Structures are given as C-alpha cells and as structure tokens.
Amino acid sequence: MQTNTLKTLSPATIFWEFTLLSVMGFGGVMPLAYHYIVERNKWLNDKEFVEILGVSQILPGGNIINLGVMLGWKFARLKGAIAAFLGLLLIPSFILFGCAFLYNRYSNNVIVNHAFIGMSAVAAGLILSTSIKLFMKQGNRIKAMIYISIIFTLLIIFHLHLSLILIILIPLTIIFNLIMNKKRGLNHGIK
C-alpha cells in the first residue's frame, strides 16, 4: 500500500481530519484512527501505523492523543502537532461536558444504564476488530503470537504491571530480533 507522497499536510487538514475522527469515535477512537490514517487518507502504511501506535502506547497519556501529536509533527511540525491535539480534544470536550451533565441528571434511569453497557460492548468489539486486522498484516505471525502469549501470561497469570512487562520485554525483543536478523544476514545499518 502506498502512503501519501506529500511530505507535509496543512495544519487545517490535520485539525479537520482529527476532529472528524474524534467526533465519530465514541467508545474509542483507535479503530477509526486506523481507518482514517491508513485506509482512507493513506498517510501511513500498516507498518508505519503499528510503529507509531507502539510508541504512542508506551508514552504517558492517551494513546490516540500521542499518536495524533506524533503524526501532526511528522506532517506539519509544531503547528501540525497542535492542530492534531486540538482536533482530538476541542469538540469532544464540549460533547463530554454535555454528556456529563445529562448523565448526572439521568444516571438512575435503567435505560441509560443499559445503553452504556451496550456501548461498552461495541467499543470492545471495535478494538478487537482492529487488533485482528493489524495482526493479520504482520509478516511473522508466529513471532507475534509468541510475544502476545508472553505478554498475556505475564499480565493475566502473573499479574505483573504493564510497565514492568515493557521493561522486561523491550530489551529482550530487541536482542532477539538483532540475533535473528544477524543469522539471516540482515543488519539494517547496525554494526
């Protein structure tokens, strides 16, 4: 898949796209982010999206905000980063204040409670769908399954904190991949 060949995007374009993304992404923006960034706008390919998503997930703060700021910076530097940030937060903040007011007023209503249960199930399904879509595009699914199994075991069975898992696994995966690449004769510029 070819990505956008433009080296820059206007801050207005970045703001508008991230505003649309944030307003459409109730229950979680990440599944839509993949669609907007990779499939619709072709700003990144699958590999680039996964790399930026990975970095955004280990940084403090919201994943989508981190991803938006990094993309904004990539395409329009500081103005792009600010545009992505504001696009993601400006209108949704007003919507959130309105919803908080309404929820505070009607939170004891059974229909409202059931609606929130339904919305959470839809959000979980969207996240799972995006995860499966990204997994299916991985070049080495066996290696990805090994990493997923290790993370699942450490997180769910041994109840290790995600920060500790990252501290353990990041160096190990780097070393493992360097060894495997060296065996295959790939060095990617590393001496």
150 and 187 share one domain: yes
99 and 161 share one domain: no
> Residue 125's domain spans which residues?
108-136
58 closest CA partner among 167, 183, 153: 167
Q: How confident is the model at residue 24 (pLDDT cuts 50, 70, 90)?
A: confident
| pLDDT at residue 3 greater than cutoff 70 | no
75 and 114 share one domain: no
9 and 79 share one domain: yes
185 and 166 share one domain: yes
Asked whether 153 and 165 are in contact (CB, 8 A), the reply is no
| pLDDT at residue 138 greater than cutoff 80 | no
81 and 21 share one domain: yes
186 and 122 share one domain: no
Task: Give the residue from 59, 88, 106 where a domain finishes.
Answer: 106
6 and 92 share one domain: yes
Question: Which residue do the tokens 């493992």 mark?
Answer: 176
62 and 151 share one domain: no
Q: How confident is the model at residue 188 (pLDDT cuts 50, 70, 90)?
A: low
Predicted TM-score (pTM) of this structure: 0.60
Token pair recorded at residue 158? 């041994």
CA–CA distance, 106 with 117 (Å, rounded to integer): 15
Rounded average pLDDT over 78-95: 94
Q: How confident is the model at residue 7 (pLDDT cuts 50, 70, 90)?
A: low
Token pair recorded at residue 78? 């500081």
Q: How confident is the model at residue 18 (pLDDT cuts 50, 70, 90)?
A: very high
- Domains identified in the chain, total number: 3
78 and 151 share one domain: no
Q: How confident is the model at residue 1 (pLDDT cuts 50, 70, 90)?
A: very low
- Which stretches within the chain are classed as H helix? 11-24, 30-34, 46-58, 63-106, 110-136, 141-152, 162-184
